[in-house]
């Protein structure tokens, strides 16, 4: 058992057995990590139906979809006007950065600006894209109602209390905010004139 | 007393089968410790005490705690209600829960002082690098355990704190979303999150016990540093650990427990520092509290996180600020250990302690433009401190270290 051939054969067997053992151990990890991913019932497509006509003009309601908060804002003509005129201070005025901030129906500059199927009803995921807090609704322009939590030339929108991200009334993030992207737009469609199905 | 016990027949019987006498002698009655250790060397034993207390109180709390986010008829959740039941109905439940909640803060306080001792007297330097590194692993596991535990009462701070921290992992490129899902187990923090955090909150202390064993073992190989930071070899410079330091540690324990008991009995919330007021409001996933801050022992790192405008850089900086602790023994290249004989390092390290406290203050307060700049400057100093260490020996004139003690 001392000659060279046997020795290298033995080494090969060590490495082969050890390598296979490592592969098997690695494969065993898969079901354990897999078990930590969302379970089937959690993943099961959950849809939320909502009647937007219950939202008064200028009102914001927060509803729940898949355990996540969702903003439904009824924008008056006045609020819709406040969306204009500050594109230069937005990170992504056109909502093109990532898939989650756009939808197929955003096919015109107009729709990219208002970010909603019907301009008056803005529906977006209410989690700040920085670390998931729910931003506070501060719709009136200027500092009159909000003090110095917003900039002097505030155009109305949302202010995240956690780390100070600012969003305009189309939920587009302002430059200088820690949040990287606009609030996400989830899939939704109008089942009737006023009933919207989210998800 | 130990000598008397070791002379009994019963002990002889045990000794023949375990080698107990050799262990007791080498680790306790003949374990050499420097005779000049000051009170900063008490915090290791205090940390061990807190670990035991946390495990014991935790085991008893679990007898009543229920990890479920299911809604109850009262309009709250099973988890929140079970904690309130511990506080109101369970015999001595209030005491055990306050011991556990205050204990978490005291554990961190003791461990931070223990680490500060290591910084100041150069205890991380050769040959104790691995001892230090094991200690940093202990710190990280403690922070993990504290984070998991904080979700369990299912209050507003629990919920939103966990939301913020799990969202941090989303910043990791490519894998981020995956990692977040594995942590959360759903689309948002919910029942699956609570269950897995409870499981991990039970696991981590067991890991701690094992790693603390490694920490103590590594210590007993290289032996304690001392305030002078010099190598001690002569027998007359050493005293046996038992009875000299067991009695000193016991005195430290008595002193520490007095403070601990005072807080547990008279001021368990500690002005919102140990138990945040918002956490007595049941978790509501549709309303974020006006101001979210972690508990004080995590706020320095939280400030580092929010000092950067880019989410990814913030997360990297926070991770880096902890990871850099692993490198400390290799960054600090001076041959002299103790800050007593390193005039420049002494000023730098004291400023570093102040800096960490300032970082903690900024992280605990609501963000304002001024505090943001203070936080950014403190973050800069935090990293500058470590970055300057390798170059320090080039211009620092160390004082002559003593030959002996």
Question: How do residues B193-222 score in pLDDT, each as one tens digit?
Answer: 999 999 999 999 999 999 999 999 999 999
- A24 and A113 assigned to the same domain: no
Q: From CA B124, how far away is CA A8, in angstroms rounded?
A: 44
What pLDDT, in 10s, does the model give residues A132-145?
889 999 999 888 88
Determine whether the interchain pair A178/B192 forms a contact, defined as Cβ–Cβ distance below 8 Å. Answer: no
The two beta strands, A121-125 and A60-65, are unpaired
Q: Between chains, do B311 and A179 touch, taking CB under 8 Å as contact?
A: yes
Q: If pLDDT is split at 50, 70 and 90, which confidence band does A178 have?
A: confident
| Interface residues on A facing B, Cβ-Cβ cutoff 8 A | 33, 36-39, 42, 62, 64, 66-69, 127, 130-134, 161-164, 176-180
What are B259-266's contacts with CB under 8 Å, separation 24+?
B260/B102, B260/B103, B260/B106, B263/B102, B263/B106, B264/B95, B264/B98, B264/B99, B264/B102, B265/B98
Q: Which of A86, A130, A163, A184 is catalytic?
A: A163
Specify if A147 maps to a domain.
yes
Do A60 and A108 fall into the same domain?
yes
In a domain, A84, yes or no: yes
Residue A90 in any domain: the answer is yes
pLDDT of B325 > 60? The answer is yes
A33 CA: distance to closest CA in chain B (Å):
7
**Does B188 sit within 8 Å of A133, measured CB to CB?**
no
Compute the distance between CA of residue A134 and CA of residue A154 in angstroms, rounded to an integer: 19
Which one of A35, A43, A100, A131 would you mutate to disrupt binding with B, by most B Cβ within 10 Å of its Cβ? A131
Residue A189 falls inside a structural domain: yes
Q: What percent of chain B has pLDDT over 70?
A: 100
Query: Do residues B334 and B342 lie in contact, with contact meaning Cβ atoms separated by under 8 Å?
Result: yes
Q: Which residues of A touch B188 (CB under 8 A)?
A: 66-68, 127
| CB contact at 8 A, A68 and A132 | no
Interface test with B, best of A162, A181, A184 (most B CBs within 10 A): A162
Residue A130 and residue B309: Cβ atoms within 8 Å?
Answer: no
Closest CA to B23 of B252, B248, B242: B242
Q: Do B288 and A130 touch (CB under 8 A)?
A: no
Does position A4 have pLDDT exceeding 70, yes or no? no
Predicted pLDDT of residue B333: 93
- In a shared domain, residues A17 and A111: no
Contact yes or no for A133 and B187 at CB 8 A? no
* Residue A103 covered by a domain: yes
**pLDDT in the model for residue B281:** 93
**Among this protein's residues, is A159 annotated catalytic?**
no
> What integer pLDDT is reported at residue B239 of this predicted model?
95
Predicted confidence (pLDDT) at residue A48 exceeds the cutoff of 90: no
Name the residue in chain B with its Cα closest to that of A176.
Answer: B309
A85 shares a domain with A11? no
How far, in Å, CA of B20 to CA of A67, rounded? 57
- Could you tell me if A31 and A99 lie in one domain? no
Closest chain B C-alpha to A64 CA, distance in angstroms:
8
Residue A166: CATH number of its domain: 2.102.10.10
Same domain? For A25 and A82 the reply is no
B367:A176 CB<8 A: no
Q: According to the model, what pLDDT value does residue A135 have?
A: 92
Does residue A1 register a pLDDT over 70? no
pLDDT of residue A9 exceeding 70, the answer is yes
Helix, strand, coil percentages (3-state) for chain B, rounded to 5, are 70, 0, 25
For the stretch B97-106, pLDDT in tens is 999 999 999 9
A65 and A144 in a single domain? The answer is yes
Preferred mutation among B192, B299, B311, B373 to probe A, highest tally of A CBs within 10 A: B311
Is the pLDDT confidence value at A2 over 70? no
Mean pLDDT of A46-59: 89
Q: Is the pLDDT of residue B378 over 70?
A: yes
Give pLDDT tens digits for B35-73.
999 999 999 999 999 999 999 999 999 999 999 999 998
Does residue B90 or residue A150 have the better pLDDT? B90
Q: Domains of chain B, with CATH numbers? A: 34-232+240-292 (1.20.810.10), 293-405 (1.10.287.980)
A20/A76 same-domain check: no
Q: Is the ipTM beyond the 0.85 threshold?
A: no
Q: Is B284 on the interface with A (CB under 8 A)?
A: no
Chain B closest-CA separation from residue A177 CA (Å): 7
Indicate yes or no: CB of B286 within 8 angstroms of CB of A64: yes
CA distance B296 to chain A (A): 16
What tokens appear for B374 in the block?
A: 């203070």
pLDDT at A44 over 80: no
Tokens 């270290």 -> residue: B401
- What percent of chain A stands above pLDDT 70? 97
pLDDT at A3 over 70: no
Q: Is residue A42 part of a domain?
A: no
For residues A21 and A54, membership in a common domain is answered with: no
pLDDT at position B400 is 94
Residues A33 and A79 in one domain: no
Number of structural domains found in chain A: 2
Confidence of residue B174 (pLDDT cuts 50, 70, 90): confident
- Average pLDDT over chain B, rounded to an integer: 94
CB A91 within 8 A of CB A174: yes
Confidence (pLDDT) at B10:
95
Give chain A's mean pLDDT.
Answer: 88
How far is it, in rounded angstroms, from Cα B122 to Cα B139?
Answer: 18
Long-range contacts, stretch B255-258, CB < 8 angstroms, 24+ apart: B256/B42, B256/B46, B256/B49, B256/B106, B256/B110
- The dihedral built from the CA positions of residue B206, B212, B217 and B220, taken in this order, carries a sign that is negative
Nearest to B164 among A64, A69, A133 (CB): A133
pLDDT at A93 over 90: no
How near does any CA of chain B get to the CA of A132, in Å? 6
Q: List the domain range (segments joined by +) for residue A30.
A: 4-37
Tell me whether residue A85 is in a domain: yes
Angle between helices B176-184 and B191-222 (to 10 degrees): 100
Give B262-275 pLDDT, tens digit per residue.
999 999 999 889 99
User: Taking residues B274-289, what's their average pLDDT?
Assistant: 90
**Which stretch, A181-185, B93-97, B230-234, has highest mean pLDDT?**
B93-97
Choose the closest CB to B290 out of A39, A62, A161: A161
Domain co-membership, A110 together with A130: yes
Instruction: Flag whether residue B309 sits within 8 Å of chain A, measured between CB atoms.
Output: yes
Q: Do B167 and A130 touch (CB under 8 A)?
A: yes
Inter-chain touch B306–A179, beta carbons under 8 Å: no
Give pLDDT, residue B201: 97
Q: Residue B75 pLDDT more than 60?
A: yes
| Mutate: best of B193, B285, B287, B363, partner A, most A CBs <10 A | B285
Say if residue A151 is in the same domain as residue A192.
yes
Q: Which of B164, B287, B310 sits opposite A162 (nearest CB)?
A: B164
A174 within some domain: yes
Torsional class of A171: left (φ above 0), alpha (ψ -120 to 50), beta (otherwise): left
């Amino acid at each position: 058992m001392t000659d060279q051939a046997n020795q290298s054969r033995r080494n090969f067997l060590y490495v082969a057995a050890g390598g296979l053992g490592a592969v098997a151990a690695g494969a065993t990890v898969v079901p354990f990590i897999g078990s930590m991913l969302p379970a089937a019932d959690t993943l099961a497509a959950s849809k939320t139906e909502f009647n937007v006509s219950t939202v008064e003009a200028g009102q914001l309601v927060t509803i729940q979809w898949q355990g996540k908060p969702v903003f439904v804002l009824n924008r008056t003509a006045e609020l819709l006007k406040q969306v204009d005129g500050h594109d230069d201070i937005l990170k992504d005025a056109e909502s093109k950065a990532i898939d989650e901030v756009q939808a197929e129906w955003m096919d015109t500059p107009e729709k990219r600006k208002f970010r909603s199927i019907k301009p008056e009803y803005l529906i977006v995921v209410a989690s700040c894209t920085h670390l998931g807090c729910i931003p506070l609704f501060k719709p009136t322009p200027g500092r009159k109602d909000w003090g110095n939590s917003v900039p002097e030339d505030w155009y109305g929108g949302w202010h995240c209390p956690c780390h100070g991200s600012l969003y305009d009334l189309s939920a587009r993030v302002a430059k200088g905010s820690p949040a990287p992207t606009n609030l996400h737009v989830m899939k939704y469609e109008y089942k009737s004139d006023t009933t919207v199905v989210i998800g | 007393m130990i000598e008397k016990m070791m002379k009994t027949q019963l002990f002889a019987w045990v000794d023949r089968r375990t080698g107990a006498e050799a262990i007791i002698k080498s680790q306790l009655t003949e374990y050499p410790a420097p005779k000049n250790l000051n009170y900063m060397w008490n915090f290791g034993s205090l940390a061990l005490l807190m670990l035991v207390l946390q495990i014991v109180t935790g085991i008893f709390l679990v007898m009543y705690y229920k990890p479920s986010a299911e809604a109850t008829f009262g309009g709250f959740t099973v988890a929140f209600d079970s904690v309130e039941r511990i506080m109101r109905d369970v015999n001595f439940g209030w005491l055990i829960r306050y011991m556990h909640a205050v204990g978490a803060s005291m554990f961190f306080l003791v461990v931070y002082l223990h680490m500060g001792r290591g910084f100041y007297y150069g205890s991380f330097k050769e040959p104790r690098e691995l001892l230090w590194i094991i200690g940093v692993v202990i710190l990280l596991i403690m922070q993990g355990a504290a984070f998991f535990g904080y979700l369990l009462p299912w209050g507003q701070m629990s919920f939103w704190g966990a939301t913020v921290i799990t969202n941090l992992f989303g910043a990791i490129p490519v894998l981020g979303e995956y990692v977040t899902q594995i942590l959360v187990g759903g689309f948002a923090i919910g029942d699956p999150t609570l269950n897995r955090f409870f499981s991990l909150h039970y696991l981590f202390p067991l890991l701690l016990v094992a790693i603390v064993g490694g920490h103590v073992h590594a210590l007993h190989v290289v032996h304690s540093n001392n305030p002078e930071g010099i190598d001690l070899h002569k027998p007359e410079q050493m005293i046996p650990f038992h009875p000299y330091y067991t009695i000193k540690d016991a005195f430290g324990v008595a002193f520490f427990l007095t403070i601990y008991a005072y807080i547990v009995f008279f001021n368990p919330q500690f002005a919102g520092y140990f138990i945040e007021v918002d956490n007595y409001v049941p978790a509501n996933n549709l309303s974020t509290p006006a101001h979210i801050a972690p508990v004080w022992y995590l706020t320095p790192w939280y400030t580092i996180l929010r000092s950067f405008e880019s989410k990814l850089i913030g997360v990297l900086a926070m991770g880096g600020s902890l990871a850099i602790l692993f490198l400390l023994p290799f960054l600090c290249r001076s041959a002299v250990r103790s800050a007593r004989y390193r005039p420049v390092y002494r000023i730098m390290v004291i400023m570093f302690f102040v800096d960490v406290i300032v970082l903690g203050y900024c992280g605990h307060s609501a963000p304002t433009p001024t505090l943001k700049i203070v936080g950014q400057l403190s973050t800069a100093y935090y990293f500058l401190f470590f970055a300057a260490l390798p170059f320090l020996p080039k211009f620092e004139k160390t004082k002559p270290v003593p030959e002996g003690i």
